[in-house]
Structure 1
Amino acid sequence: MKRIIVDYKKLTPEILGLLVDKYPDGYDDDQVISFKNAKNETVDAVEVRTDDTVYLVKVSTRLENTMANFDEDDYEDSEFNDPIVDIPEKTEDVEEEEEEK
């Protein structure tokens, strides 16, 4: 089984969906794993699993906010494996402009 450390910048909608499913009300301190990385820095992360991979997602305030606002329907199927920071944010203003045309 692969173990992958994921930073917020590399977080995909797929992994974010796994996080929201596993931690629908957010995560508690006792669910956070602390470990030393290759640079001997302490890293705090939460774990989610697929059939073949264990993802350790680094904990941050930005991650918590993104999990709270996640809606799977906001993403196209083609975007589901792209890092969320690379996907343009969809806003209501854009949808309203499209409706006016």
Structure 2
Amino acid sequence: MKRVIVDYSKLTTDILDLLVEKYPDGYDHSDIISFKNSKGETVKAVEVRTDDTLFLVKISSQLQQTMEDYDSDDDDDDDNRDDEFDEIEVSDNFDNE
């Protein structure tokens, strides 16, 4: 399995989707992994996996905010799709009468 360390600034939407799916209410201390990088610095990260890759996403205050914003944006999009669907349903039911 490939292992990739990802910084907040290099997050893709796919990795962000994985993070929000795995940690819908955010991550806590038990989810955090600490390790030393090649420079001897302690790095804290959360883990998400795909079939072939283990991603360690470095933790920062910006990461938490991005996850929260992304989840809110996704919820707003879902709400808009539901409204559009309801309008189509009403329209379809009206045409069938």
Bigger fraction of residues in helix: 2
Normalising by structure 2, what TM-score? 0.73
Structure-1 separation of matches of 2:19 and 2:74 = 12
Contact 1:34-1:43 within 8 A present in 2 as well? yes
Verify the 8 A CA contact 1:47 1:54 in the aligned structure 2: yes
Q: How many residues align?
A: 74
Q: Which has the larger radius of gyration?
A: 2
Aligned pairs for 1:18-57 (under 5 A) are 18-57=18-57
* 1:55-93 per-position Cα deviation (integer Å, ceiling 9, x unaligned): 00000000000000114599xxxxxxxxxxxxxxxxxxx
Q: How far apart in 1 are the matches of 2:69 and 2:20?
A: 10
Correspondences of 1:1-101 after superposition (within 5 Å):
1-70=1-70, 71=73
- Asked whether the 8 Å contact 1:13–1:72 carries over to 2, the reply is no
Backbone CA RMSD of aligned residues: 1.6
- Could you list the runs of 5+ residues in structure 1 that have no partner in the other structure? 75-101
**Aligned sequence identity (%):** 68
SS at match of 2:51: coil
Aligned counterparts of 2:28 and 2:75: Cα–Cα separation in 1 = 26
Give the partner amino acid of 2:56: L
Shift of 1:53: 0.0
Gaps of 5+ in 2: 77-97
